[in-house]
Amino acid sequence: MSLWATDGLHRILIKLRLLGSLMQPIIDFLMPARTGKAVVVNKGEVLRIIEEEGKQVADVIIFNADDHKEKFDLSHTVRMNCVKGIGNLKKVKELYSQPSRSNIMFIVIEDKVGVHGLVTGNKCSKPLYRVRDKLSTHDNCQDNLSEAIRPYGLTADDVGDVFNVFMNLDVDDRNIPIIKSPVSKKGDYIAMKAEMNCLVAISACPGDTQPTNDYLPKSLRIQVLQ
């Protein structure tokens, strides 16, 4: 990327941050621990995910609200951000749909943490708890997200790649992903401006057997600003 393009993007992001500071919440709710919910974020609106208590992961999936076949793709997002020099395996600026569409769905305009789970795009599920923790059942993000999108005519099969907001993932010396406690604290947030009408489902991750949420699932605050 040229110096001019980099400087131009920087100026655009500054303007977006200033715009975001003048916006007012049109949706503002507390998401209890272990639960999920979906909201529509229209083009130009800002989604803000806030650490109500700290060290709590939000599992996020995104669809084009006008065409549910188009949805967030983690690997494509990471690759595009790395190639553009605006992201890495911990944070990104632009959230993309799958390569067949390759549209920017959200632009991150504020990120108070800068550490998110961008290694796998996975979410906790009943099969994961059975294999990893030997638990026959457990609250999980797969089920939370499935229930959240059901009113929109979508099913569990439509739950795809997840943006693991505030999740602290690393890779050990065997090249295996490992979970660490989040570095996010109370009041931290990420704010993302919608570049299209988006259906966003969020799960306050119920994980309590790993350091995912520092072993204690907690609430999150969700806002949509206009």
Q: Can you give the pLDDT at residue 10?
A: 59
Mean pLDDT per block of 10 residues along the chain (226 residues) reads 54 55 91 98 98 98 98 98 97 98 98 96 94 96 98 98 97 93 98 98 98 98 98
Q: Can you give the pLDDT at residue 3?
A: 45
Q: Can you give the pLDDT at residue 4?
A: 47
Rounded CA separation 3/30 (Å): 42
Q: In the block, which residue shows the tokens 């005519």?
A: 153
pLDDT in tens, 12-33: 655 555 454 678 999 999 999 9
| Amino acid making up residue 204 | A
pTM over 0.95: no
Check: CB of residue 197 under 8 Å from CB of residue 45: no
Q: Which residues contact 160 (CB under 8 A, 6 or more apart)?
A: 61, 71, 72, 73
Q: In the block, which residue shows the tokens 């599920």?
A: 125
Rounded CA separation 117/170 (Å): 8
Q: Collapse the DSSP code of 80 into the 3-class scheme (helix H, G, I; strand E, B; otherwise coil) and give the result.
A: helix
